[in-house]
Amino acid sequence: MVSSLIAKGAFSVARSASRSQVRAISSSVVVSKDHVTEIYLRELKAYKAPAKAADAHVGQVRDFHAPQPPKAPVVPSSAELSSQLETYAAAEPDLAPKKSDKGGELTEGEDVNAYLREAAADHKVEAAHH
Protein backbone atom coordinates (compact mmCIF):
# COMPACT_ATOMS: atom_id res chain seq x y z
CA MET A 1 0.00 0.00 0.00
CA VAL A 2 2.75 2.33 0.82
CA SER A 3 4.20 1.78 -2.56
CA SER A 4 0.84 2.57 -4.17
CA LEU A 5 0.60 5.73 -2.10
CA ILE A 6 4.05 6.75 -3.13
CA ALA A 7 3.18 5.98 -6.73
CA LYS A 8 -0.01 8.05 -6.53
CA GLY A 9 1.85 10.93 -4.91
CA ALA A 10 4.62 10.81 -7.49
CA PHE A 11 2.06 10.67 -10.27
CA SER A 12 0.15 13.70 -8.92
CA VAL A 13 3.40 15.65 -8.47
CA ALA A 14 4.44 14.82 -12.01
CA ARG A 15 1.01 15.77 -13.36
CA SER A 16 0.96 19.10 -11.52
CA ALA A 17 4.52 19.80 -12.63
CA SER A 18 3.65 19.06 -16.27
CA ARG A 19 0.57 21.31 -16.01
CA SER A 20 2.66 24.17 -14.69
CA GLN A 21 5.21 23.66 -17.44
CA VAL A 22 2.49 23.61 -20.05
CA ARG A 23 0.88 26.66 -18.63
CA ALA A 24 4.22 28.41 -18.38
CA ILE A 25 5.01 27.64 -22.02
CA SER A 26 1.59 28.62 -23.34
CA SER A 27 1.15 31.74 -21.22
CA SER A 28 4.64 33.14 -21.60
CA VAL A 29 4.87 33.21 -25.39
CA VAL A 30 7.43 35.78 -26.42
CA VAL A 31 6.41 37.82 -29.44
CA SER A 32 9.37 37.95 -31.76
CA LYS A 33 9.65 40.99 -33.97
CA ASP A 34 10.30 40.71 -37.67
CA HIS A 35 13.38 42.84 -38.07
CA VAL A 36 13.41 42.63 -41.86
CA THR A 37 9.87 44.01 -42.10
CA GLU A 38 10.73 46.82 -39.71
CA ILE A 39 13.80 47.81 -41.71
CA TYR A 40 11.85 47.65 -44.97
CA LEU A 41 9.03 49.87 -43.65
CA ARG A 42 11.51 52.37 -42.17
CA GLU A 43 13.39 52.66 -45.48
CA LEU A 44 10.14 52.89 -47.43
CA LYS A 45 8.92 55.79 -45.27
CA ALA A 46 12.28 57.57 -45.57
CA TYR A 47 12.41 57.31 -49.41
CA LYS A 48 12.13 60.57 -51.31
CA ALA A 49 11.57 60.41 -55.08
CA PRO A 50 14.06 62.44 -57.10
CA ALA A 51 12.67 65.67 -58.52
CA LYS A 52 11.99 65.64 -62.27
CA ALA A 53 13.01 68.45 -64.56
CA ALA A 54 10.22 70.59 -66.02
CA ASP A 55 11.21 69.65 -69.57
CA ALA A 56 11.66 65.90 -68.95
CA HIS A 57 8.79 65.08 -71.31
CA VAL A 58 10.46 66.74 -74.32
CA GLY A 59 11.27 64.10 -76.91
CA GLN A 60 8.99 61.57 -75.25
CA VAL A 61 5.63 63.11 -76.19
CA ARG A 62 4.58 64.71 -79.47
CA ASP A 63 2.83 68.07 -79.55
CA PHE A 64 -0.90 67.92 -80.28
CA HIS A 65 -2.18 69.87 -83.27
CA ALA A 66 -5.93 69.82 -83.86
CA PRO A 67 -6.89 68.84 -87.43
CA GLN A 68 -8.37 71.44 -89.72
CA PRO A 69 -12.17 71.45 -89.67
CA PRO A 70 -13.73 70.20 -92.92
CA LYS A 71 -14.98 72.76 -95.38
CA ALA A 72 -18.66 72.90 -96.21
CA PRO A 73 -19.47 71.60 -99.70
CA VAL A 74 -20.50 74.11 -102.32
CA VAL A 75 -24.19 73.77 -103.16
CA PRO A 76 -24.97 74.60 -106.81
CA SER A 77 -27.77 77.03 -107.51
CA SER A 78 -31.05 75.90 -109.04
CA ALA A 79 -30.06 77.43 -112.42
CA GLU A 80 -26.85 75.39 -112.47
CA LEU A 81 -28.73 72.22 -111.53
CA SER A 82 -31.32 72.71 -114.26
CA SER A 83 -28.63 73.31 -116.89
CA GLN A 84 -26.79 70.15 -115.79
CA LEU A 85 -30.02 68.12 -116.01
CA GLU A 86 -30.76 69.48 -119.50
CA THR A 87 -27.25 68.60 -120.64
CA TYR A 88 -27.66 65.07 -119.27
CA ALA A 89 -31.07 64.59 -120.92
CA ALA A 90 -29.77 65.79 -124.30
CA ALA A 91 -26.67 63.58 -124.21
CA GLU A 92 -26.56 60.47 -126.40
CA PRO A 93 -26.30 57.27 -124.30
CA ASP A 94 -23.24 55.11 -124.66
CA LEU A 95 -23.60 52.20 -127.04
CA ALA A 96 -23.82 48.86 -125.29
CA PRO A 97 -22.36 45.69 -126.85
CA LYS A 98 -24.68 44.28 -129.54
CA LYS A 99 -26.26 40.84 -129.84
CA SER A 100 -24.74 38.46 -132.35
CA ASP A 101 -26.66 35.78 -134.19
CA LYS A 102 -24.49 33.03 -132.78
CA GLY A 103 -24.14 33.47 -129.04
CA GLY A 104 -26.97 35.76 -128.02
CA GLU A 105 -24.58 38.56 -127.08
CA LEU A 106 -24.78 42.06 -128.47
CA THR A 107 -22.22 43.22 -130.99
CA GLU A 108 -21.52 46.66 -132.40
CA GLY A 109 -24.01 47.92 -134.95
CA GLU A 110 -27.05 46.03 -133.66
CA ASP A 111 -29.96 48.03 -132.27
CA VAL A 112 -30.66 47.61 -128.57
CA ASN A 113 -34.32 48.49 -129.02
CA ALA A 114 -34.73 45.70 -131.61
CA TYR A 115 -33.23 43.28 -129.10
CA LEU A 116 -35.67 44.42 -126.41
CA ARG A 117 -38.66 44.09 -128.79
CA GLU A 118 -37.57 40.58 -129.69
CA ALA A 119 -37.13 39.63 -126.04
CA ALA A 120 -40.59 40.98 -125.17
CA ALA A 121 -42.35 39.23 -128.09
CA ASP A 122 -44.29 36.05 -127.45
CA HIS A 123 -42.46 32.96 -128.51
CA LYS A 124 -44.25 29.85 -129.66
CA VAL A 125 -43.17 26.77 -127.80
CA GLU A 126 -43.76 23.50 -129.59
CA ALA A 127 -45.00 20.67 -127.46
CA ALA A 128 -42.51 17.91 -127.02
CA HIS A 129 -43.70 14.56 -128.48
CA HIS A 130 -42.91 11.62 -126.33
Give tens-digit pLDDT for 74-94. Answer: 898 999 999 999 999 888 777
Residue 103 above 60 pLDDT? no
Model confidence, pTM:
0.22
Which of these ranges, 8-12, 46-50, 122-126, has the smallest mean pLDDT?
Answer: 8-12
pLDDT for 83: 94
Of residues 98 and 85, more confidently modeled = 85
Long-range contacts of 21-25 (CB under 8 A, 24+ apart): none
Residue 94 pLDDT: 74
Per residue in 22-67, pLDDT (tens digit) is: 555 555 556 678 999 999 999 999 999 988 888 888 888 888 899 9
The pLDDT value recorded for residue 8 is: 65
Q: Which residues contact 108 (CB under 8 A, 6 or more apart)?
A: 95, 97, 98
